[in-house]
Every structure is written in C-alpha cells, then in structure tokens.
Amino acid sequence: MMLRFLVSLLVLASCKESYKIAKAEHTVASARASLVRQEDTIIFALIERARFPLNSPTYNQSYTFISHLQDSILDFVIRNTEAVQSKAGRYINPEENPFFPKNLPPSVVPHYPFSHFLHPAAALININQDIWKLYFNELLPMFVASGDDGNYAQTAAADLTLLQAISRRIHYGKFVAEAKFREAPQVIEPLIRAKDREALMKLLTLKRVEEMVVKRVEKKAMVFGQEVSLDNDVKKGGTYKVDPSIVSLLYQKWLIPLTKNVELEYLLKRLD
Ligand SMILES: *[C@@H]1O[C@H](CO)[C@@H](O)[C@H](O)[C@H]1NC(C)=O
C-alpha cells in the first residue's frame, strides 16, 4: 500500500507537465506568500529609483522634440522595452500586464504552458493607466529629490522596473481572488450574482492582515535601506535610502486598496 503510494508519487514527479501545472495552482496562503516576496522587489526598486533625482526631462515631450522623438524618453524606453519583452514571451505569463498593450508585437518564442488557474475574463483587467497616473502625479514627487543629473535613460529604466513591480503586485489580486473564490464558492457566488460590491469588498478586507503588511514593509524598508558597514552594528534611527514611512503609506493608500479593486473586478467577472 505504502509502496504503491510512493510509486505513484514518483510517477507524478517525473511527469513534467503535470508537475508544472500542479506547482502553478495557488491557494490563499501561497498567494499571500507571493505578495510578501513581492514586497522585497518593490522596496528594492524604490531604492534604485531614489538613487536618481527627479530628472524631469525624462518625462518631457518637448525636450525630446529636439531629437525628433514623438515620445518622452520614458515613453520611448517603456514602449520599446515592452515590445522586446513581449517578443521574448513576457506577457504570456498571466501575472504580467503591459503599460502599452496596443500594438504590442506577439511572442516569437515557444509558449511555456502556464496553468489556466484564472478565469479567462482576467485578461480583460488591466489598470496600468491608473497606476501610471498615480505613479507620476503622486508617488514619484514624494520619494525622489528634486534636481537633474542627466541620467535620463537610467531613470526611465528604474521607473519601468518599479512600475512593473507595482503593477504585478496590484494585478496579482486576480490570483488572490481566484484562490479565495475556490476556497468558498458557496459563500462568494451568491454575492457575485447579486453584484453586491459592498459585501464582496467586506469579504476581501482583512484589517488585521492589512495592518501587518503595512508594518512589515516599513520594517523591511528600514532593513533594506540602511547603510551597512563592517565597523558598527546596524544603526537605529539613521537615514534610509528610501523613507520607510513613504513605503508604508504607498501600501496603505494605494497598493492594498488597488489590489482589492482588482480582486473585486475579477470576482464580478468570475461567472461570465
Ligand atoms: C520641457 O522641455 C522644454 C525644452 O527643453 C523646456 O523649454 C520646458 O520648460 C520643459 N518643461 C517642463 C515642464 O519642464
């Protein structure tokens, strides 16, 4: 009996395709673990962008008219980077959402068999335009110094890395919502049918977990953003590469609410 069980485990493990698919299934716990890991990516990307001052010519179309570009340097870098990444298969992964989805060239590489964990309607949800506006109008001025050091291409690349990390986190709400749905369809389905946004949002809100996230990212920003030297122990209350209170504000004010908005929009389409 035991032996048969072990043999079937081995067969399962050696069957590459089913392993891939099994690995890609999410639970609420595994989706949460991914969100925790993504905090590191976001905080490091904030630190990398904060190395540069605002560098406003990066965002200025008039500045690039001099060199006959239609776009700002930022638009130019992002459009072209996304095109190359799309050809290399980046957007085959349902976790990735482009900022310029129009006219994106198709992938030219073999498609990895990502699992069909999400409902197909997930592909219709892309709130990157809102993220873009929020990023440039509100977030960026909060955590970069004013000034201009001429590193416009590097600045645009740092913006893109950070925007992608933020976008991935927010759109990951689709996976969180699907995992929650699968764990309690009998509770969630009637609310979706009734289009009861308020009740759904209440179901998606766990104040205790949200408060933990906000505290944890602030702590991570202190740990990741401190000056490390061999002589002294880690300093407390020193200066950080990015202000920890801004990281917690970013989560509290935007990342958590927008992720929940994506979760809600996804659930409302879940039975289509
Ligand atoms: C944009 O660039 C042009 C040309 O360099 C400059 O005249 C203009 O003041 C800039 N606009 C802003 C908002 O910085």
Q: What is the pLDDT of residues 72-100, one digit of tens each?
A: 999 999 999 999 999 999 999 999 999 99
Q: What global pTM score does this model have?
A: 0.88
Does residue 16 have a pLDDT over 50?
A: no
* Ligand 1 mean position, distance from CA 55 (Å): 12
pLDDT band of 231, cuts 50, 70, 90: confident
In 3D space, the residue among 270, 240, 269, 264 whose CA is nearest the CA of residue 47 turns out to be 240
Range 28-109+116-269 classified under CATH 1.10.590.10: yes
- What is the model's pLDDT at position 63? 87
Residue indicated by tokens 């700002």: 72
pLDDT band of 238, cuts 50, 70, 90: confident
- What is the model's pLDDT at position 130? 97
- The predicted-structure confidence for 2-11, as pLDDT tens digits, reads as follows 445 444 444 4
Every domain of the chain and the residues it spans: 28-109+116-269
Handedness of CA 138, 141, 260, 247 (dihedral sign): negative
Ligand 1 neighbourhood includes 62 CB (under 6 angstroms)? yes
| Higher pLDDT, residue 114 or 65 | 114
* Ligand 1 mean position, distance from CA 63 (Å): 6
- The predicted-structure confidence for 251-269, as pLDDT tens digits, reads as follows 999 999 999 999 999 999 9
pLDDT band of 13, cuts 50, 70, 90: very low
Ligand 1 neighbourhood includes 67 CB (under 6 angstroms)? no
* Ligand 1 mean position, distance from CA 150 (Å): 14
Ligand 1 neighbourhood includes 56 CB (under 6 angstroms)? yes
- The predicted-structure confidence for 202-218, as pLDDT tens digits, reads as follows 999 999 999 999 999 99
> Looking at ligand 1, which residue's alpha carbon is closest to its atom 12?
60
- What is the model's pLDDT at position 24? 57
- The predicted-structure confidence for 40-58, as pLDDT tens digits, reads as follows 999 999 999 999 999 999 9
| Higher pLDDT, residue 28 or 67 | 28
